């Protein structure tokens, strides 16, 4: 079943139903070494599935849950099986801010494991209709909870006793986390922004190729008309076979609309989509989540 959350739709199964968990990997065509996060209805449920609950976890849950923050913590070995965590000793926990999913989880009394409800490496779904276009009705029942308000996946943070590591950027930033915890060490794990360290990727889902649309995507700060055909030739394109879109200037609006944008159809006589992005994007952390998705979805950035 696909469930609505405030970030993206998830393809869900109760964490104790192994056959249904296997089916998630099958339907998504996702490799078994990529772990799933589990969705809880509150902090009390979360604690049950962890080995330890550091002071930082308590503070972050109080501030951001329900909401777009996933915390990676040491797992309870008895209750969280290796299929979910791909053999790891840690588990990702998230309390989604959507009344339908929260009700469902609390009535079932058990967490739901759920990755984003898209095929592996493809664009994530921020509307019920996006899920319906990727999976047949026979395979996946979609619990329609409307459009996702945040629009990109949760921030993932590994929580240790003295330290946080951001494994995936989202709309909750390191500044937001620091405001709650005060003087805290926050590192960024390796994301697409830092390809040179790809061997150090801690979160297996953070591969370079991800969120991919059905057409080649190029992006840059200039408008398409200002770009030289010489620059486009490197990609096998020219100006007149590109279709341009402009990313909204407000990061929250851009995030909300991002996956619909990556699912637009380009006209049949065009070969690529060119996305003009705001000029301040690379400077401010609030854009990092959107930029990370775009870098993984695109084939290049034009200076």
When the beta carbons of 126 and 174 are compared against ligand TXA, the nearer one is 126
Residue closer to ligand TXA, measured from CB, 16 or 240: 16
Number of residues this chain uses to bind ligand TXA (CB under 6 A): 29
* Radius of gyration of the chain measured on its C-alpha atoms: 19
CA torsion, points 278, 281, 282, 288, in degrees to nearest 10?
-140
Tell which positions 114-153 bind Mg ion, by CB under 5 A.
116
Q: Is residue 154 within the footprint of ligand TXA (CB under 6 A)?
A: yes
41-60 positions binding ligand TXA, by CB under 6 A: none
Query: Pick from 4, 54, 66, 92: which binds ligand TXA (CB under 6 A)?
Result: 92
CB of 36 to ligand TXA, least distance (A): 6
The option from ligand TXA, Mg ion, none interacting with 220 (CB < 5 to 8 A, set by class) reads: none
Q: Over the range 34-73, which residues count as b (16 or more CB within 10 Å of their CB) and which as e?
A: bbbbbbbbebebbbebbeebbebbebbbeebbbbbbbbbb
Q: Which of 31, 87, 146, 204 binds ligand TXA (CB under 6 A)?
A: 204
The answer to whether 206 and 263 have CB atoms below 8 angstroms apart is no
| 90 binds ligand TXA per the rule CB under 6 A | yes
Q: How would you classify residue 134: left for phi > 0, otherwise alpha for psi between -120 and 50, otherwise beta?
A: alpha
Query: What is the contact surface with ligand TXA in residues (CB under 6 A)?
Result: 5, 7-8, 10, 34-37, 70, 72, 85, 88, 90-92, 94, 96, 114-116, 153-154, 156, 167, 202-206
């Amino acid at each position: 079943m696909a469930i609505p959350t405030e970030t993206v739709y998830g393809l869900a199964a109760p964490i104790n139903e192994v056959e249904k968990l296997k089916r998630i990997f099958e339907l998504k065509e996702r490799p078994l070494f990529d772990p799933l996060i589990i969705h809880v209805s509150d902090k009390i449920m979360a604690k049950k599935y962890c080995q330890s609950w550091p002071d930082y976890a308590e503070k972050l849950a109080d501030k951001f849950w329900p909401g777009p923050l996933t915390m990676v913590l040491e797992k309870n070995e008895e209750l969280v099986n290796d299929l979910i965590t791909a053999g790891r000793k840690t588990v990702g926990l998230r309390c989604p801010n959507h009344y339908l999913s929260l009700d469902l989880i609390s009535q079932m009394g058990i967490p739901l494991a759920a990755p984003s409800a898209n095929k592996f490496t493809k664009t994530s779904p921020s509307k019920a209709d996006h899920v319906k276009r990727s999976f047949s009705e026979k395979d996946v029942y979609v619990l329609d909870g409307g459009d996702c308000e945040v629009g990109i996946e949760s921030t993932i943070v590994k929580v240790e006793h003295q330290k946080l590591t951001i494994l995936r950027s989202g709309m909750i930033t390191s500044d937001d986390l620091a405001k709650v915890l005060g003087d805290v060490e926050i590192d960024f794990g390796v994301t697409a922004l830092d390809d040179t360290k790809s061997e150090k990727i801690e979160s297996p889902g953070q591969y370079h190729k991800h969120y991919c649309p059905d057409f080649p995507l190029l992006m840059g700060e200039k408008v398409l008309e200002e770009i030289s055909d010489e620059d486009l030739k490197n990609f096998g394109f020219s100006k007149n076979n590109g279709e341009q879109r402009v990313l909204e200037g407000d990061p929250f609006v851009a995030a909300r609309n991002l996956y619909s944008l990556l699912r637009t159809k380009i006209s049949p006589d065009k070969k690529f989509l060119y996305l003009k992005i705001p000029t301040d994007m690379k400077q401010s952390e609030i854009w990092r989540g959107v930029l990370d998705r775009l870098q993984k979805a695109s084939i290049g950035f034009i200076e």
